[in-house]
Chains A and B, each alone.
Chain A
């Protein structure tokens, strides 16, 4: 179990990290070469804005205030769930995120499911038949899987399954059929990483004494593998799969563009090209919050699953 002390410590550090993250996120617009206000107007109209237009825009959006004051205005709104309005459309950023988030979460979950469905049987087979061609084939899969750019895999899937076989739609969102190809494109790389991990973890467990004991007792090998070994082997897998959430968000950006799925990733890229700073800041902040919270939950669940993990360890 988790002590209240540890819980408080972890929540405290995560909150502190998020506070720093919010400052960085807000400060990012200052990386724009030149005047951000001018850049925004230039992207909106396609021509150099007049000095009066720039001045008016700066006044309207509080650009003339010093950074700490601007940040304070922004963050006090953020904690009240107001992320500002898009410079382009005037729509509230929070509404835009609420609209786009489900498509991305759906993709992320489907990709993780694909990854686990491929990785667990492959990794277990690889460990149980260690050194045989099965093991070599699955290791080769893992190597190729991590080396393949997911956007290229996306096009390969489109060419084969959508264009030639006509089994799935090329792009967009909708039912399950729209989700299959993007999920495979995104999940394969993760499957490769998790396969390796399941294999290593399974090999460790199969060498453990309690597995020998189960065998000595005369337990059938199948039960030894699935009941005794696999359950314990999956503990570290939980951690890595959870930590892969960031990887999924990384990949989702690119995959959403390949399959033209209107999600958080596509929204972010559009906003970046349009210098729509409130949208960029909102998406980055939400992504970081999701990421930090997932990592926290993963860490805590790991401790519940495996009581041997020390409490309050170094950078636990």
Chain B
């Protein structure tokens, strides 16, 4: 038994290297994907290392230097409270990426679990979960997230809860579809007949078949979560001042668009580049890992 397990785990790690290798070769062959990967890498670097090297504190006010244009001391200018916009942008990368990763992970967890259980169990369980998906899809995603976050009370934590709760349906549907195909395969029947415990069956035989589409959707999803978080914070439901969050920064600068255009535009560009990076990377990964999948229309 232990040798069988050994072989299986070797097979699995081989599979993972294959995924990694395909991904890398895709990155090489497609310049746009490479650009996306580069943007994401730079962003990750900025989010992790940036706060350690910037000379200012994100919340440090300097009221004698309010609304100063870009200069050597403040490359992206200062905001309405004299805070350094570049510094806040760097700290904001940490907030935005952190939230995007957490929310996407929650969505993957909920959606994959629901999809696998629904697809494997079939019958009334499947029916119940899929009707639940239908009901959820009856609300435009961002409107639902807005209401849930708003009623829970304005805070970043509640925005994360709301976005996780409204965004898992795509995963559930895709995973369910894959599981429906996979469970008809002979090796799954065999595994079931020899009495493989259900959890093990899920992990060993069903999960590997859904990994690729989930990776692709999750990458694209990271971008949409960044957009949605910024949007909700812009409305005033997410990060509260003085948290350096991009959407909140944009909202703070809106009274000054005439005199201090940089306050609104710096976070705007940051959000756009981040989302662009995830979209380029996601498109490339889709071509490499999941070529049959159509371009998905993402909402939230």
Q: If A20-B135, A196-B295 touch, does A152 touch B140 (CB 8 Å cutoff)?
A: no
State A273–B235 Cα separation when bound (angstroms): 10
Q: Does B211 contact A (CB under 8 A)?
A: no
What residues on A are CB-neighbors of B254 within 8 Å? 155, 258
Contact B271 A152 (CB under 8 A): yes
- Indicate the member of B32, B147, B271, B273 with the most A CB atoms within 10 Å: B147
CA distance A125 to B153 in the complex (A): 48
Q: A146-B279, A149-B271, A155-B268 are in contact. Are A32 and B299 (CB under 8 A)?
A: no
Looking at the assembled complex, report how far the CB atom of B92 sits from the nearest CB atom of chain A, in whole angstroms. Answer: 13
Q: How far is the CB of A151 from chain B (nearest CB, A)?
A: 5
Q: Is the CB of B65 closer than 8 A to any CB of chain A?
A: no
**Within the complex, which residue of A17, A144, A280, A284 is in contact with B134, where a contact is CB–CB below 8 Å?**
A17
Q: How many residues of A contact B (CB 8 A)?
A: 53
Q: Is the CB of A254 within 8 A of B272?
A: no
Interface residues on B, range: 35 or more
Map CB proximity to A onto B127-170 as digits: 1 under 8 Å, 0 otherwise.
Answer: 00011001100111111101110111100000000000000000
A151 with B231, Cβ < 8 A, contacts A156-B265, A247-B140 known: yes
**Residues of B contacting A18 in the complex (Cβ-Cβ under 8 angstroms):** 138
Least Cβ distance of B154 to chain A in Å?
8
**Known interface pairs A17-B134, A197-B295, A249-B140. Does A143 touch B257 (Cβ–Cβ under 8 Å)?**
no
For window 264-316 of A, CB contacts with B under 8 Å fall at 268-269, 272-273, 275, 280, 284, 287-288, 291-292, 315
Q: Is A167 an interface residue (CB 8 A)?
A: no
Contacts of A251 in B (CB 8 A): 142
**Chain B interface SS verdict (over half):** helix
Could you tell me if A156 and B275 are in contact, using CB atoms closer than 8 angstroms? no
Query: With A21-B135, A284-B143 in contact, is A31–B152 under 8 Å at CB?
Result: yes
Cβ of A186 under 8 Å from chain B = no
Nearest Cβ on chain B to A200's Cβ, whole angstroms: 7
Partner of A280, one of B130, B147, B264, B268: B147
- Of residues 1 through 40 on chain A, the ones whose CB sits less than 8 Å from some CB of chain B are 13, 16-18, 20-21, 24, 28-29, 31-33
Known A149-B268, A269-B235: A284·B141 in contact at CB below 8 Å = no
What's the minimum C-beta distance from B255 to chain A, rounded to whole angstroms?
Answer: 11
Q: For the complex formed, measure the closest distance between the CB of A141 and the CB atoms of chain B, giving whole angstroms.
A: 12
Hey, which bits of chain B sit against chain A, CB under 8 A? 32, 130-131, 134-135, 138-144, 146-148, 150-153, 223, 227, 230-231, 234-237, 247, 250, 254, 257-258, 261, 264-265, 267-268, 271-273, 275-276, 279-280, 295, 297, 299-300
29 A-B pairs (CB sep. < 8 Å): A17-B131, A18-B138, A21-B135, A28-B151, A29-B151, A32-B152, A144-B272, A146-B279, A147-B279, A149-B227, A149-B231, A149-B275, A152-B265, A155-B257, A155-B268, A159-B258, A163-B257, A193-B297, A249-B140, A249-B143, A250-B142, A250-B143, A253-B143, A269-B235, A272-B151, A273-B150, A280-B147, A287-B139, A287-B143
